[in-house]
Amino acid sequence: MSPREEQHKNEGWHGLKLILVSARKRIKPATRAATAIGAFVLAATSLVARPSPDSHTLNAGVPDATLWYQQPARQWLEAMPIGNGLMGAMVFGGIPEERIALNESSFWSGRPHDYDDPNANIYFPQIRDLVFAGRFQEAEKMADGHFWGIPKAQEAYQPIGDLLLSFGSTNGTDYRRELDLETGVAKVSYRSGDAVITRETFISWPDRVLVMHIRADRPGRISLGVRFRGPYLETSLADRDHLVMDGAWHGPFSAPASGMAGLIARTAGRGIGYEAALVARLEGGRSEAAGSTLNLTNADAVTLVLAVATSFVNYTNISGNPAATCAQILSHCAGKSYATLLQRHEADFHGLMSRVQLKIGDASQNAKPTDERLRAVRIPTSSRWPFNSAATFWLPAAAPAGRRPICRASGTRRFFLPGAANTPSTSTSR
């Protein structure tokens, strides 16, 4: 692949992932859809959108509305993004070990504080006089030196951590990993011995949870260990069919990565707290706790239901109770089967996604894996799926919530972590 092709590939993925800016405000449906879809069409001017002839028709399984691959993701940008505007995840699709990278929209570094510089007004008359005298560069230099907030740097969006599923020394054949853009469901399937294993994952806006359903076409074939890990994890404990991770952001960051000096604040101390709480529902088999790992063995099927919350209340208050929030969310889901959770998610998702479709290009190309198609073209916008991807990723912007727009968790690859040679998220500020 030429350097230019590599650049287009990277820009395409970054563009699609960073479209995960979630507003969740009460806006008129037409305005929400136009804003979401229009933003991507402006970026890809060669595409022409036409309203769907039947906005209520469900098109799940349509090949050109599916991103699919023949191997697990090796790095973050290859994983499959799902989210609901508050919580997001990247599904890697590994066979011996599945990694689901978790984020929550309010989990940032730092803590509430006043940016005001009480001495800034001292310099205002001097800056004004310099401007009136036409000495603009001097005025700009003085403003840069004394008119920024304290600190000048900003806080960084942070990861909650990873949900890790260990399936042992499982060898898989006939592997397929896909993200259905019509349903918002990430799916992994493969053959292990004489059984076909299927994993389906989505994040529901109606129920505020991540749901993963693991099943086999032969009884008693589902065995796995479930655990959490994260850069700010403080405690993690398994108990029968429950697994809980608690933690909080702690600063300051270590020395910034190359090029980041002055951009990321070095706030010290404890910041926003969080909890991730998981319930495992087994069909057959048994569940056992071993320290911070939940071991599930010989089940016919397993449904994992995960809630994530932080102590964020508003921009001046981070004293909330994430444990109580998670408990309330899981309690509301307790009486709902996997089929019900899926139906509620898809109904919500389709209510927005089915409003517009784009048909363009050679439909026979849909039989090729998405990554192969990207390698085969110069600009990865010559088919319908990038349009659908943008629409899918924008959907969380269309439902109500009590926070300002923020980069959805699954749209942020690079976090600024202590000791890490990476860069901060390019998400919108709070």
CA distances from 7 to 1, 74, 95, 145, 378 (A): 10, 19, 30, 37, 10
Q: What is the pLDDT of residue 224?
A: 97
Q: What is the pLDDT of residue 51?
A: 37
Better-scored residue on pLDDT, 224 or 356: 224
Give the separation between CA 310 and CA 308, rounded to whole angstroms.
7
Check the CA dihedral 390-347-67-339 and report its sign: positive
In 329-423, which ranges are E strands?
Answer: 356-357, 406-407
Structural contact between residues 30 and 352, judged by C-beta atoms closer than 8 angstroms: no
* Domain 3-113+152-411: top CATH class: mainly beta
Structural contact between residues 205 and 84, judged by C-beta atoms closer than 8 angstroms: yes
Structural contact between residues 409 and 102, judged by C-beta atoms closer than 8 angstroms: yes
DSSP 221-247: -EEEEEEEE-TTEEEEEEETTEEEEEE
Residue 40 has pLDDT above 50, yes or no: no
pLDDT class for 62, splitting at 50, 70, 90? very low
- State whether residue 71 is helix, strand or coil: coil
Q: Which amino acid is at 300?
A: D
Residue 172 has pLDDT above 90, yes or no: no
Instruction: Name 279's Cβ contacts closer than 8 Å, sequence gap at least 6.
Output: 241, 242, 304, 305, 306, 330, 334
Beta bridge partners of 219: none
DSSP assigned state of 367 = G
Give the separation between CA 116 and CA 107, rounded to whole angstroms.
23
Better-scored residue on pLDDT, 170 or 284: 284
Residue 384 tokens read as 């319908």
**b/e 322-343 (16+ beta carbons within 10 angstroms → b):** bbebbbebbeebeebebeebbe
Residue 18 has pLDDT above 50, yes or no: no
pLDDT class for 352, splitting at 50, 70, 90? confident
Interval 243-256: pLDDT, tens: 999 999 999 988 76
Structural contact between residues 412 and 89, judged by C-beta atoms closer than 8 angstroms: no
Give the separation between CA 363 and CA 55, rounded to whole angstroms.
21
Q: Model pTM greater than 0.85?
A: no
Instruction: Name 29's Cβ contacts closer than 8 Å, sequence gap at least 6.
Output: 352, 398
Beta bridge partners of 195: 192
For residue 342, report the phi and psi dihedrals to the nearest 5 degrees: -65, -45
Rounded mean pLDDT of the chain? 79
Q: What is the mean pLDDT of residues 339-368?
A: 86
Least confident of 28-32, 110-114, 156-160: 28-32
Give the separation between CA 314 and CA 349, rounded to whole angstroms.
28
The structural domains of the chain, with segments of one domain joined by +, span 3-113+152-411, 116-150
pLDDT class for 132, splitting at 50, 70, 90? very high
Structural contact between residues 411 and 17, judged by C-beta atoms closer than 8 angstroms: yes
Better-scored residue on pLDDT, 330 or 355: 330
Q: What is the mean pLDDT of residues 297-302?
A: 97
Q: What is the mean pLDDT of residues 159-167?
A: 97
- State whether residue 342 is helix, strand or coil: helix
Structural contact between residues 119 and 426, judged by C-beta atoms closer than 8 angstroms: no
**Number of Cβ atoms within 10 Å of the Cβ of 92:** 22
Of all residues in the chain, what percent carry a pLDDT higher than 70? 71
pLDDT class for 37, splitting at 50, 70, 90? very low
Q: What is the pLDDT of residue 65?
A: 83
Q: Which amino acid is at 278?
A: L
Q: Which of 47-61, 358-372, 404-418 has the highest mean pLDDT?
A: 358-372
User: Number of C-alpha atoms within 13 angstroms, CB side, residue 310?
Assistant: 28
Rounded to 10°, the helix 120-132/136-146 angle is 170
* Geometric angle at alpha carbon 9, from 4 and 12, rounded to 5°: 120
Residue 72 tokens read as 């697990």
For residue 164, report the phi and psi dihedrals to the nearest 5 degrees: -115, 130
Q: What is the pLDDT of residue 60?
A: 40
Of all residues in the chain, what percent carry a pLDDT higher than 90? 56
User: Number of C-alpha atoms within 13 angstroms, CB side, residue 207?
Assistant: 26
**Number of Cβ atoms within 10 Å of the Cβ of 14:** 14
Q: What is the pLDDT of residue 255?
A: 73
- State whether residue 167 is helix, strand or coil: coil
